[in-house]
């Protein structure tokens, strides 16, 4: 037989101490206790009862339990086997930590817990109450957000440049415990599990605006109907809260709201959507959340400083402002910054690339041009075909696409850029300042197009149109450039019919439509219509056309420079409707011949000169003079010849082209010699003469020119006898009354010569070279003598044709 010692242990271990716990979040409860101090402690078992009190159930002695074992109404929820005695331990029921069950509890349900200690011999103590706990759903926690549309408004920028979103922008929140909420439950702030909402201040984002919801991320679009401006909030869900917060399963974000501002947003700027206007124009900025209280609008990032715009009206979705005039003229684009009033966070929105349109404010024209009018450009002739567009924002250069065109009634005609500062252009070309462009009025514009527009196109294709421009008349040539009264002149040019209809008889010589040579206005009858021919003014079929006028030099036009000018469809001149052409050089020539030069007198052979005051032994004489005129013409020399004692009376004695005379001479620019021959001159007569030149076509004559203009009493017109130019002596002298008398005798008195001296006396009928011959004998009929001498006396008889002069010679 044998024996054994048996130790009986039926004593329970000491119970757990320091028991406690907390209501857990998200279907959990946290349980705390210190294990038994008994040396034979081996494990802890925790029982749970549903409800606010524990039941009577206890673990069965010697039984080992696992989580989930049921003891009537109690459930084993925690089993710990590795702890030492007197060790503080903790576990979370519903989370599966600290030896406890992972089976989720029901939020809002009360649960009661007891801790039981078991020794190594299978004994359990009576259990120690840990407590009753009610788990609650865990609150969501949003930690940050990003603005998917405008990254500058992410929550990371809240402390610096500001954060939030604009209507229509997508925002994504990041955090924890958001739960999973389906479409249709995303705007439920008071529901249970599976529900939730987003709030911006006290505004609930509509379900349809929440595009995604997961446990850690929510994406939404800032709704158009939002009625708050939000801000920085400390709480979530309170009546006066601001910011952005999440509510999940009826639980608000316990960390409070994130700062979030609803920013203003510009959706369009009219006109033209993105915005373009001239300085001084009113524009409308359309958008959202501008607030009803007026803020500020600034044009910025132009070449100059920021410019504050004058506000015309301000509403939450629309602002009207005037484009400020201080924008630098050499900049063509700006940003527009709208800042909300201070009471709503002074948040801003900026619209970029607002275009400042070019603006023609005036057009400089030539000094004799009407306002907004000029003539077609005539290169190298004058500058009245240059105009300068003045204004703002033309661009700093023409670039590839820049242009000025004559449009509207002109069609589409390019205006060449003029590179020289002259005429109306104070600055050449396309000015870098963006304020002026010098252009030529294109001669390609139709002659029948008088009014239209001027279109400026900037290099960025932005345009401005000047709506009132007129092309004035221009004379490009006169054909011929000189002429006499009644000559037909062709005025060639353009835009001669300013009313659009060319003048016809009898309306071509009035205050509104006329042609002038100098200050002399052509009469209606001076205009000539010729058809069917060729050459100037022959074939057009109209005396006055858009590009040609055919008119005679009017009677009464002074000779010399008399430039032509056309007035068409004009009002009062000078004035805004005085439509006049340039002046074009024209010289009115006279058809009256020039006064003759180089008058000469010859014997009948036409080559032997008769010196002034001398005579000819012929009864015929030839008179010559040099003739010229202002125009090509046939010239005739006319001579008036009279006895010296007879005054000139203007009666032509003889002329070229008359009977027995040479023909009149054709003058073509080189002086010609006129020749007149007089016959039948009276023997023994002294003459004076004068001459003039006649235009054989018109009958006009030059002034009389005396042969010896220095002679006494040869005035024009002559009224008194003048000195002798020549005399005629065609017969020999006659001697009579010859006698020899005493030297003291004074006549042939029959006295007796002395013994040594005799006076010979005789009478001649004219001046002559006289001889007296004598000798000791003088046979009858003989002329010889022993001695002779010559006496020259009385060269000019006192009275031509008189009875002679008595001569005496002593010997």
Whether residue 1 is contained in a domain is answered as no
List beta partners, residue 726: 614, 687
Number of structural domains the chain divides into: 7
Alpha carbon 169 to its chain's center: 43
End-to-end CA distance of the chain: 244
Please check whether residues 507 and 391 belong to one and the same domain: no
Instruction: Give the pair of three-digit tokens for residue 777.
Output: 């004998």
Please check whether residues 581 and 604 belong to one and the same domain: no
Strand, coil or helix: what is 120? coil
pLDDT of residue 792: 36
Please check whether residues 580 and 662 belong to one and the same domain: no
Whether residue 5 is contained in a domain is answered as no
Please check whether residues 606 and 710 belong to one and the same domain: yes
pLDDT of residue 712: 47
| Strands, E assignment, 228-368 | 230-231, 244-248, 251-252, 260-263, 265-270, 276-277, 282-288, 296-300, 307-308, 310-314, 318-322, 333-339, 348-356, 359-364
CATH number at residue 320: 2.60.40.10
Q: Are 793 and 749 spatial neighbours (Cβ–Cβ below 8 Å)?
A: no
Q: What is residue 630's DSSP assignment?
A: S
Q: Is residue 313 reached through a cis peptide bond, with omega within 30 degrees of 0 on the bond before it?
A: no
Whether residue 4 is contained in a domain is answered as no
pLDDT of residue 805: 54
Please check whether residues 296 and 250 belong to one and the same domain: no
Please check whether residues 480 and 567 belong to one and the same domain: yes
Please check whether residues 406 and 340 belong to one and the same domain: no
CATH number at residue 610: 2.70.50
Whether residue 317 is contained in a domain is answered as yes
Q: Which residues of the chain have pLDDT under 70?
A: 1, 5-8, 238-240, 530-536, 538-541, 709-722, 767-768, 774-811
Instruction: Give the pair of three-digit tokens for residue 358.
Output: 């070019």
pLDDT of residue 796: 33
Please check whether residues 615 and 694 belong to one and the same domain: yes
Whether residue 540 is contained in a domain is answered as yes
Please check whether residues 681 and 778 belong to one and the same domain: no
> How many residues appear in the chain?
811
Of 309, 340, 356, which residue is a domain's last?
A: 356
Q: Are 417 and 441 spatial neighbours (Cβ–Cβ below 8 Å)?
A: no
Q: What is residue 502's DSSP assignment?
A: -
The residues, any chain, with a CB within 8 Å of residue 364's CB and separated by 6 or more, are 387, 388, 390, 424, 425, 426
Please check whether residues 208 and 225 belong to one and the same domain: yes
Q: Are 129 and 54 spatial neighbours (Cβ–Cβ below 8 Å)?
A: yes
Instruction: Give the pair of three-digit tokens for residue 116.
Output: 């039981």
Q: How many CB atoms lie within 10 A of CB 308?
A: 14
Predicted TM-score of the model (pTM): 0.68
Domain holding 410, by residue range, is 359-470
Phi, psi of 809 (to 5 degrees): -145, 125
CATH number at residue 418: 2.60.40
Please check whether residues 608 and 661 belong to one and the same domain: yes
Whether residue 12 is contained in a domain is answered as no
pLDDT of residue 271: 86
pLDDT of residue 787: 41
Of 694, 728, 762, which residue is a domain's last?
A: 728
Residue position matching structure tokens 């850690």? 216
Whether residue 8 is contained in a domain is answered as no
Please check whether residues 707 and 611 belong to one and the same domain: yes
pLDDT of residue 802: 35
Whether residue 485 is contained in a domain is answered as yes
Of 75, 100, 133, which residue is a domain's last?
A: 133
Q: How far apart are CA 145 and CA 259, in angstroms?
A: 10
pLDDT of residue 27: 86
Q: Are 439 and 416 spatial neighbours (Cβ–Cβ below 8 Å)?
A: yes
pLDDT of residue 791: 40
């Amino acid at each position: 037989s044998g024996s054994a010692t048996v130790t009986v242990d039926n004593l329970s271990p000491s119970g757990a101490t320091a028991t406690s716990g907390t209501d857990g979040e998200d279907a959990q409860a946290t349980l705390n206790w210190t294990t038994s101090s008994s040396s034979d402690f081996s494990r802890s078992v925790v029982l749970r009862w549903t409800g606010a009190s524990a039941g009577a159930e206890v673990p069965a002695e010697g039984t080992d339990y696992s989580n989930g074992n049921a003891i009537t109404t109690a459930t084993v929820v925690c089993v710990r086997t590795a702890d030492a005695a007197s060790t503080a331990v903790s576990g979370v029921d519903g989370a599966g930590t600290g030896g406890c069950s992972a089976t989720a509890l029901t939020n809002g349900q009360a649960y009661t817990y007891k801790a039981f200690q078991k020794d190594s011999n299978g004994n359990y103590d009576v259990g120690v109450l840990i407590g009753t706990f009610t788990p609650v759903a865990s609150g969501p926690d949003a930690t940050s957000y990003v603005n998917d549309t405008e990254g500058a408004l992410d929550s990371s920028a809240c402390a610096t440049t500001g954060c939030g979103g604009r209507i229509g922008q997508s925002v994504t929140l990041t955090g924890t415990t958001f739960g999973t909420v389906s479409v249709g439950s995303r705007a439920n702030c008071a529901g249970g599990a599976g529900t939730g909402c987003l709030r911006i201040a006290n505004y609930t984002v509509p379900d349809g605006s929440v595009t995604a919801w997961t446990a850690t991320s929510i994406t939404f679009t800032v709704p158009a109907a939002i009625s708050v401006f939000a801000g920085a909030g400390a709480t979530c869900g309170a009546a006066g809260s601001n910011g952005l917060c999440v509510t999940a399963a009826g639980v608000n974000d316990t960390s409070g709201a994130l700062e979030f501002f609803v920013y203003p947003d510009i959706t369009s700027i009219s006109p033209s959507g993105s915005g373009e206007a001239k300085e001084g124009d009113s524009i409308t900025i359309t958008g959202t959340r501008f607030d009803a209280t007026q803020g500020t609008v600034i044009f910025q990032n132009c070449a100059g400083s920021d410019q504050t715009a004058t506000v015309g009206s301000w509403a939450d979705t629309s602002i009207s402002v005037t484009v400020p005039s201080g924008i630098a003229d050499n900049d063509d684009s700006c940003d527009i910054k709208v800042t909300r009033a201070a009471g709503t966070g002074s948040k801003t929105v900026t619209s970029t690339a607002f275009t400042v349109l070019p603006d023609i404010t005036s057009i400089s024209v030539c000094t004799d041009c009407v306002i907004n009018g000029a003539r077609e450009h005539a290169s190298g002739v004058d500058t009245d075909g240059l105009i300068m567009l003045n204004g703002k924002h033309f661009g700093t250069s023409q670039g590839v696409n820049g242009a000025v065109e004559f449009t509207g009634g002109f069609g589409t005609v390019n205006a060449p850029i003029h590179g020289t500062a002259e005429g109306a252009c104070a600055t050449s070309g396309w000015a870098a300042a963006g304020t002026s462009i010098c252009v030529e009025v294109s001669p390609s514009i139709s002659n029948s197009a008088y009014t239209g527009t001027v279109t400026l196109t900037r290099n960025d294709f932005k345009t401005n149109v000047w709506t009132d421009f007129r092309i004035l008349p221009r004379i490009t040539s006169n054909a011929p450039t000189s002429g006499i009264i009644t000559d037909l002149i062709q005025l060639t040019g353009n835009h001669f019919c300013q009313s659009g209809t060319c003048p016809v008889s009898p309306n071509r010589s009035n205050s509104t439509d006329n042609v002038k040579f100098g200050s002399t206005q052509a009469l209606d009858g001076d205009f000539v219509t010729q058809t069917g021919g060729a050459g100037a003014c022959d074939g057009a079929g109209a005396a006055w056309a858009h590009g040609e006028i055919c008119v005679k030099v009017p009677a009464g036009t002074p000779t010399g420079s008399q430039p032509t000018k056309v007035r068409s469809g004009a009002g009062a001149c000078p004035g805004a409707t005085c439509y006049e052409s340039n002046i074009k050089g024209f010289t009115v020539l006279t058809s009256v011949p020039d006064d003759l030069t180089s008058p000469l007198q010859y014997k009948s052979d036409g080559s032997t000169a008769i010196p002034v005051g001398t005579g000819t032994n012929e009864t015929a004489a030839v008179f010559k003079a040099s003739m010229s005129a202002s125009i090509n013409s046939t010239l005739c020399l006319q001579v008036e010849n009279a006895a010296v004692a007879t005054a000139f009376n203007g009666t032509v004695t003889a002329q070229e082209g008359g009977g027995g005379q040479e023909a009149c001479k054709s003058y073509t620019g080189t002086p010609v010699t006129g020749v007149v021959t007089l016959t039948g001159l009276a023997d023994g007569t002294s003459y004076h003469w004068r001459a003039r030149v006649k235009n054989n076509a018109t009958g006009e004559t030059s002034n009389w020119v005396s042969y010896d203009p220095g002679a006494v009493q040869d005035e024009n017109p002559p009224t008194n006898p003048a000195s002798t130019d020549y005399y005629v002596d065609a017969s020999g002298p006659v001697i009579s009354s010859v006698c020899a008398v005493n030297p003291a005798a004074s006549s042939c008195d029959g006295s007796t010569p002395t013994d040594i001296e005799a006076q010979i006396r005789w009478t001649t009928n004219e001046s002559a070279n006289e001889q007296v011959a004598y000798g000791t004998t003088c046979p009858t009929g003989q002329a010889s003598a022993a001695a002779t001498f010559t006496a020259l006396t009385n060269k000019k008889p006192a009275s031509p044709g008189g009875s002679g002069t008595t001569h005496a010679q002593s010997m």
